[in-house]
Chains A and B, each alone.
Chain A
Amino acid sequence: MKMAINELNSLCRSALEGSGWEQGDYEDAADAAVWLHAIGLDGMEAIDRLLGVARQEEYVVEPALSARQGASAEHTASCNGLAGCLLAFELAWARATQARTGTVRIFNALSPRLALYGLKVMSSRGRRFDLSWRDNAGRHFATTSGHDNYPRYLGFNASASETSSEITVWCGVDGATFKGITVPEQDVAGAVDAVEFDARYRDALWRGIEVDAAHIDRLIAWKSKVLVPESLASRAHGAGGADDGF
């Protein structure tokens, strides 16, 4: 079925809310999934991975800050929210402000592809970010200079496929001497540049997004969990509106 972007976004937010995600996280994840879907990267499959699952993501932020007590190495922390979307980039940004570069690794990422949206959000904020994520299709690479509306997806290396999902985000402030994430020179396929992302998104905006009926049904089922069941009292007193002949 063809849907509008805002319509699908609203449905995704409610479904994620119904699945128990906090407001900030369900807003981010829905924005991410719908954007991915609009640019042809199966955002509905990405959101599926967040519905009804246990929170299991862990993250570590590097480098350790020497000013902190006992900070020779940062410890891996478990995340109660959604780390592998926008949060990973925000943590990397904050660490880069303190240490010129910041690297965030997410382990057991629930839906690693959502990180590409995090990169997109950071694309116009003036800092370079590199992103890599691993899923069962392979290892994916993307980057932004921080001065565009969209990131560049550099492609994926199918031979690096793994069953465990991992995300690495690197951020560098101007003048950072460290290199970001290294992209293998060979065996990387499927690159999409910023212009193509922009064109795909505009096309979705003008024509609507095709969404599989089974996905919609699943989203509606989760959404129904945030709707208060009908009752006569609710109907009579919960809202206004009537016809009095005028």
Chain B
Amino acid sequence: MTIDEIMDEEQQRAQGAGEPARAVAFPCAPLRSPDITNRPERLGAMHGTRLSFVRSLVRRMAHDNWRIRVTNMDLDDNGFGVCIYTIEAYGERYSQVIFSQYLDDAERTDRVIAQKWDITSALICGVPSAADIEYLRGNVPLQEAGRLRANDLVLCRANKSVRNFGYVADCLAAGRQPDPAAFERVGYLIRTTAVYGNGKFGIADYPRLVDSHAFNRGFSAQMCAVFVLRDFSVRLVEHVASRRNPRTAVKLAHSFRRYLGVGNATGLGMAPFLVRHPVQVDQWIRARETALARVLAVEVVERDVFERAMALIARAGRHVAQVHTDHPPEAARNALIIGELPQLARELEITYEQKSMFRWSKLLAWADEQLSCATQEILVTVLIELYPGLVDSIETATPVDDVLTLDPDMSVGELLRLVERDYGWVMKQPAGQRDDDHFFWYRSAEKEEPRLGVRAHEAGAELEQPLDIACQVWRLHTKLKAQDDNARTVAEFVAECPEYRAIVRRIQTLASRAYGEIRHNLLAQDMLPIDLMRAKLSMFGASKFDPKSNLWVRVTLYQGAPTLDDLSPDMVDDWAFPCVPGGNERGGA
């Protein structure tokens, strides 16, 4: 790829202060086309990067001296009760109140339709009074059936990994560390099944957090809540072990504490989010592509960077080899990656050692020709990982106005040209693909769970959600081509045809946001919801993708992340592609 002179200017923010400090210009290669990045097969192969929300949040926690500590822990011998964490940052104070309760195995499900959970929690503003705790105790364990208040920021719940939690408790109670193999299969003790923010069930609206220094980035409050739950999961298992056998119980080895993340079960709800928030999708993918473009513009690759790249590729191989999945396509893809990564390492080594000037762009171009897109996306994560100084200042989740706005002045003829310019991927679809409406997306009356139906076999298609962007664009294009008066304004057009109002303003708003659309027919039979989920989860920073079907996926968040004790301004931020540690060091009693 030819490096051009595009300069990517941005206001680099002073560390911790959040105020513009100085304008920095970075050389930048051309960004990859959305025709590459926004296809489902590519979205479904993404990995978290150092720009992912959990990575950038932990960096802020460490660099800006966040203080997160347990201020109250009142658990019985079985680990049931309440625990309160206090979070202090930038002069702001928040608390996370966690309730742990008995749950019969028969009631444990990851689905939205669940009614009870092992652990429920709320992240709130300030320090709770006794009355606040009582209020939360009466509502948080009910989740959707409870009511929260405008001072409450996040509502979430988690279930135990029954096998892992029980096994680890047994080991610690017996005074020994668990077998690392147990964590290779499942790298967490609990998994979240929902993490709600932005006004759900009465909690604070996101715009309120724009004034919060700690949580003004999108999803940062939710990610913080999960980070705290991760710490709680370890404290909980150690507490249970200690109560079971106070004389012999040991703490979990630090390497395990660091390796263990929080599991997450994600269903169909994430896919509609991506369609409904295209401006955010553009922001996320553009940030990632900008980071990649800066790396591709690097002219001289130092030997230590080359060596780190080799080490990261090797680590990625070990990481993928430790992903256990029963989903045949995912297992096949992982096997392909494991087979291709040595080729990538070999190519990197050979080309780096050649006398001609080495460029990352050449390696990526080679990968584009020779390797699967799954392995290419591993390479993208590695490349971004190599240059913190170039990429860490890119904000992926600053507050963004994602309102879709109609441009009333545009003529019908101009709109037609805009559609043909930006939605060529719709026009170029084969008719069979374009007209494929195999699926329909809907909300069930059962707790409003997002679901997917097969149109030919299931009732409810007349109530489908309008996620068929490709179909809407095609219908609009047909309508526009049939217009007699191309000089007519868009305002007049939508006045006459209100059914096109939503898609017209979407197209107009996304005219300068090329990464906003998922470039596929989301009703087509070959559409895999797990691809869409993976894109969003990668932006969050999830790892260990384990699809359980085409409709839901298990992942792990914060695996390999620093623990609360590790957070400090000089923390080494190096936890891409986490691998199971040996756990050989002894846990303290």
Contacts and interface: CB of A to CB of B under 8 A. Distances in A.
Contacts of A9: 199
Contacts of B185: 246
Contacts of B551: 239-240
Contacts of A61: 492
Interface string A200-234: 00000111100000000000000011111111011
B445 A25 contact: no
B202 A3 contact: yes
Contact of A86 (B186, B267, B406): B406
Contact of B164 (A77, A207, A241, A246): A246
Given A238-B453, A241-B109, A231 B459 contact: yes
Interface residues of B, number: 71
Contacts of B186: 246
A187 interface: no
B495 A79 contact: yes
Contacts of A234: 444, 446, 451, 453, 458, 460
B161 interface: yes
Interface in A1-44: 1-7, 9-10, 22-25, 27
Interface string A53-96: 00000010100000000000000010111110011001101100
Nearest to B105: A243
B438 interface: no
Contacts of B406: 86, 90
A245 interface: yes
A227 B443 contact: yes
B113 interface: yes
B181 to A, nearest CB: 14
A6 B208 CA distance: 11
Nearest to A55: B498
B112 A241 contact: yes
A235 interface: yes
A83 B495 contact: yes
A230 B491 contact: no
Contacts of A208: 149-150, 202
B494 interface: yes
A218 B446 CA distance: 19
Of A224, A230, A241, most B-chain CB atoms within 10 Å: A241
A188 to B, nearest CB: 30
B199 A79 contact: no
B218 to A, nearest CB: 13
B521 interface: no
B162 interface: yes
Contacts of A87: 491, 494-495, 501
Interface string B261-278: 000010110000000000
Interface in B448-497: 448-453, 458-460, 463, 466, 489-492, 494-497
Given A94-B492, A234-B444, A4 B501 contact: no
A141 to B, nearest CB: 23
Nearest to B269: A239
Interface residue range, chain A: 35 or more
A25 B463 CA distance: 17
Contacts of B552: 239-241
Interface string B419-454: 000000000000000000000001111101111110
A238 B199 contact: no
B459 A23 contact: no
Contacts of B451: 228, 234, 238-239
Contacts of A230: 444-446
A161 to B, nearest CB: 28
B499 interface: yes
Interface string A155-199: 000000000000000000000000000000000000000000000
B328 interface: no
B191 to A, nearest CB: 8
A97 interface: yes
Nearest to A61: B492
A208 B200 CA distance: 12
Interface in A96-142: 97-98
A80 B450 contact: no
Contacts of B28: none
B110 interface: yes
Contacts of A91: 408, 491-492, 495
A94 B463 CA distance: 34
Given A228-B442, A230-B444, A6 B498 contact: no
B41 interface: no
A246 B325 CA distance: 12
A243 B186 CA distance: 13
A239 B495 contact: no
Give the one of A7, A82, A207, A225 with max B CB within 10 A.
A7
A4 B110 contact: no
A6 B548 CA distance: 32
A201 to B, nearest CB: 10
A79 B110 contact: no
Interface string B547-574: 0110110100000000000000000000
A205 B205 contact: yes
B200 A238 contact: no
Contacts of A246: 161-164, 185-186, 554
Contacts of A98: 489
Contacts of B505: 24
Contacts of B108: 243
Contact of A238 (B150, B164, B205, B444): B444
B498 A7 contact: no
Nearest to A171: B408
Contacts of B548: 240-242
Nearest to B490: A94
Given A24-B494, A77-B495, A240 B267 contact: yes
A241 B495 contact: no
B549 A240 contact: yes
Contacts of A83: 495
A10 B465 CA distance: 14
Interface of A: 1-7, 9-10, 22-25, 27, 59, 61, 77, 79-83, 86-87, 90-91, 93-94, 97-98, 205-208, 224-231, 233-235, 238-243, 245-246
Given A23-B466, A82-B498, 8 more contacts: A4-B198, A22-B502, A23-B502, A25-B498, A98-B489, A240-B552, A246-B164, A246-B186
20 contacts: A4-B200, A5-B207, A9-B199, A22-B498, A23-B501, A81-B498, A82-B498, A83-B495, A94-B408, A98-B489, A205-B208, A224-B445, A238-B452, A238-B453, A240-B268, A240-B548, A240-B552, A242-B109, A243-B109, A246-B554
Interface of B: 105, 108-113, 147, 149-150, 159, 161-164, 185-186, 193, 198-208, 265, 267-268, 406, 408-409, 442-446, 448-453, 458-460, 463, 466, 489-492, 494-502, 504-505, 548-549, 551-552, 554
The 6 tightest CB contacts between A and B, nearest first, are: A81-B498, A24-B501, A240-B552, A6-B199, A238-B451, A4-B199
